[in-house]
Structure 1
Amino acid sequence: MHRFLGTARDAVRSWLRSAPGTYVWLTILLVTTIVMRHMAPDTLDAFLGDRSTNIHALSTHPFRVLVQSALWIDGGSWLPYAVLYTLFHAPAERWLGTGRWLLVLGAAHIGATYLSEGALLWAIRHGHAPVSMVDTLDVGVSYALAGVVAVLTYRFARPWRYGYAAGVLVVYGAPLVTGRTFTDLGHFASVLIGLACFPLTRGRPGAEWSPPAAVRRTWAAVTRVR
Structure 2
Amino acid sequence: MARVRDWVRSSPGTHIWLLVIGITSLVIASASEGLGQFLVHRTSSNIHELNEHPLPSLLISGFWIERPGSFVLYAVLFELVHANVERWLGSGRWLLTVGGAHIAATLASQELVLLAIEGHRLPRSMTHVVDIGVSYGLAAAAGVLTYRLRPPWRYGYLCGLLVFFAVPLLTGASFTDFGHAIALVMGFAAWPLTPAAAAGELRDHDGRPTTGGDRAQPPPDPEPDPGSRQER
TM range (shorter): 0.7 to 0.9
Structure 1 residue 20, shift from structure 2 partner: 0.6
CA RMSD of aligned residues (A): 2.0
- Separation in 1, partners of 2:142, 2:156: 13
* Structure 1: distance between partners of 2:152 and 2:29: 45
Match of 1:170 in 2: 163
**Structure 1 residue 128 corresponds to structure 2 residue 121:** yes
Matches within 5 A, 1:26-175: 26-77=18-69, 78-175=71-168
How far apart, in 1, do the equivalents of 2:181 and 2:2 lie? 38
Tell me by how many angstroms 1:196 deviates: 1.1
SS in 2 for 1:138: coil
Query: How far did 1:62 drift?
Result: 1.1
Q: Deviations over 1:15-44 (max 9, x none)?
A: 111001111111111111111111111111
CA contact (8 A) 2:192 2:198 kept: no
Deviation at 1:207, TM superposition (A): 11
Q: Tell me, in whole angstroms, the C-alpha distance in 1 between the residues paired with 2:52 and 2:191.
A: 33
CA contact (8 A) 2:29 2:68 kept: no
* Structure 1: 5+ residue stretches without partners: 1-8, 213-226
Kindly state the Cα deviation for residue 60 of structure 1 after the two structures are TM-superposed: 2.3
- Partner residue of 1:216? none
Task: State the match for 2:174 in structure 1.
Answer: 181
Please list the CA deviations of residues 31-82 of structure 1 after superposition, one character each: whole Å capped at 9, or x if unmatched.
1111111111111111121110001111221110111111111114221111
Q: TM-score, normalised by structure 2?
A: 0.82
Percent identity, aligned pairs only, is 44
SS at match of 2:140: helix
Instruction: State the SS of the aligned residue for 2:34.
Output: helix
Corresponding position of 2:218: none
Cα distance, 1:37–1:207 mapped onto 2, change above 3 Å? farther
The number of equivalent residue pairs is 201
Secondary structure in structure 2 of the residue aligned to 1:139: coil
TM-score computed with the length of structure 1 as normaliser: 0.84
Tell me how far apart the structure 2 counterparts of residues 97 and 55 of structure 1 sit (CA, whole Å).
33
For 2:167 and 2:13, the matched residues in 1 are separated by: 31
Determine which structure has the larger helix proportion and give its number: 1
- Whose radius of gyration is greater, 1 or 2? 2
| C-alpha distance in 2 between matches for 1:65 and 1:25 | 16
Query: Are 1:203 and 2:198 an aligned pair?
Result: yes
Given residue 59 of structure 1, which amino acid in structure 2 is its aligned partner? N
Deviation at 1:119, TM superposition (A): 0.8
* Structure 1 residue 159, shift from structure 2 partner: 3.6
Amino acid at match of 1:163: G
